[in-house]
Amino acid sequence: MGQMIELTSADGTRIPAYLAEPAGKPKGAVVVVQEIFGINRHIREVADGYAADGYLAVAPATFHRVKPGVELDYSEAGMTEGIALKQAVEALPAPGVQADLQAAVDWVAERSGGKVGIVGYCWGGLLAWRAACQLNGLSAAVPYYGGGMTTPAEIARQPGVPVLAHFAETDRSIPLEGVEAFRKAHPEVEVHLYPAHHGFNCNHRGAWDEPSARLARERTLAFFGTHLG
């Protein structure tokens, strides 16, 4: 269903992205933001899924500025490399990767002719939260277990669009105290907790929890249906 394309960021950098197109006219667009494992099979499948539901979906390679062509598995070695690449991207001068996400938002807005949402997983969840607070042209954002979202610095941000946030009850990297602090600071955000672990949406990981993933997806599609069409 999908193909690789290139986006052009504001500074002229060309960023690869995976594009999945719906069968008919898009009812909107979704920017899919990767985990720390690159544009791997799971992220391509996620984009394909949103396309099957009628959205033009694009997943930009958010590691490209520090290392092109990253596609990691969920092994310990993949995790170690992914964490190092994430840290390298986070260390880039502002606006860093947010400029590439803005390029993705702008591209799908023009291509689809509709409203644009963003969904991200793990590190991508954090980037989706920041996008909701910083980027132009978005109409909705959905972070899944966004690593770092519940730190004081991130909680202090203010979203400019409706946000739906999914967290896991037994996520060792995102303590429940942080989730509750986030929920208290942002009553305007729809927050859901699931009886699962970090990464519960990914059926290529041992943490996959099918009932939680299904419910979160149903809620996400309803949310996008309300705010994107």
Active site residue 106: no
Of 48, 64, 100, 122, catalytic? 122
SS (H, E, C) 84-110: HHHHHHHCCCCCCCHHHHHHHHHHHHH
Query: Which residues have a Cβ under 8 Å from the Cβ of 195 and sit 6 or more positions away?
Result: 169, 170, 209, 212
- The tokens of 99 are what? 């400029």
- The tokens of 171 are what? 């996520």
Question: Taking the CB of residue 36, how many other CB atoms lie within 10 A of it?
Answer: 24
- Rounded Cα distance between 165 and 42, Å, is 20
Of 171, 202, 209, 227, catalytic? 171
Active site residue 171: yes
Of 198, 202, 209, 227, catalytic? 198
* Structure confidence by residue, pLDDT tens digits, 44-54: 999 999 999 99
Residues of the chain with pLDDT under 70: 1
Output the CA torsion 158→159→160→164 (10° steps): -160
Q: Give me the pLDDT at residue 229, please.
A: 84
Q: Give me the pLDDT at residue 1, please.
A: 66
Residue type, 35: E
* Structure confidence by residue, pLDDT tens digits, 171-227: 999 999 999 999 999 999 999 999 999 999 999 998 899 999 999 999 999 999 999
pTM of the predicted model as reported, rounded to 2 decimal places: 0.97
Active site residue 11: no
